[in-house]
């Protein structure tokens, strides 16, 4: 069977609270970043993206912040709902067409 996996960082929040998920990326040359949501047994689903010429981008209930100085991304989810429970990954892209994923965070929303 599969090898034992690493334990993902976890975050538990109350329904209705705001969530902040963080990600450190690896390559200072990365110029395009994406946040993905992955529910159990499914493929990653696009949430929001940001290019390196921006510091902040807002979507519906989600905001992504980019700090290139410290190579850090965050995803803020407003008024978190039970349907937001999933694993969240950031992905970075530089030079070629490859997307490389960060470690991921498991979000649990408590009703």
Partner 1 sequence: DAMVIQNPRYQVTQFGKPVTLSCSQTLNHNVMYWYQQKSSQAPKLLFHYYDKDFNNEADTPDNFQSRRPNTSFCFLDIRSPGLGDAAMYLCATSRGRRTLNTEAFFGQGTRLTVV
| Residues in touch with partner 1 (CB under 8 A) | 1-8, 32, 34, 36, 41-46, 49, 89, 91, 93, 96-104
Nearer to partner 1 among residue 42 and residue 70 (C-beta):
42
Nearer to partner 1 among residue 77 and residue 90 (C-beta):
90
What is the C-alpha radius of gyration for the chain, rounded to an integer number of angstroms? 14
Tell me whether strands 105-110 and 10-14 are parallel, antiparallel or unpaired.
Answer: parallel
Nearer to partner 1 among residue 17 and residue 63 (C-beta):
63
* CB 36 to partner 1: min, Å: 8
Nearest residue to 10 (alpha-carbon basis) of 88, 65, 101: 88
Nearest residue to 111 (alpha-carbon basis) of 86, 88, 91, 83: 83
């Amino acid at each position: 069977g599969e090898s034992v996996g690493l334990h993902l960082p976890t975050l538990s929040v109350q329904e209705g609270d705001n969530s902040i998920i963080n990600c450190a990326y690896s390559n200072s040359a990365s110029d395009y970043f994406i946040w993905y949501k992955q529910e159990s047994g499914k493929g990653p689903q696009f949430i929001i993206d940001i290019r390196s010429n921006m510091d902040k981008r807002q979507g519906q209930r989600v905001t992504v912040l980019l700090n290139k100085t410290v190579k850090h991304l965050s995803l803020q989810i407003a008024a978190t709902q039970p349907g937001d429970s999933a694993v969240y990954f950031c992905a970075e892209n530089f030079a070629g067409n490859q997307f490389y994923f960060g470690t991921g965070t498991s979000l649990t929303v408590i009703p």
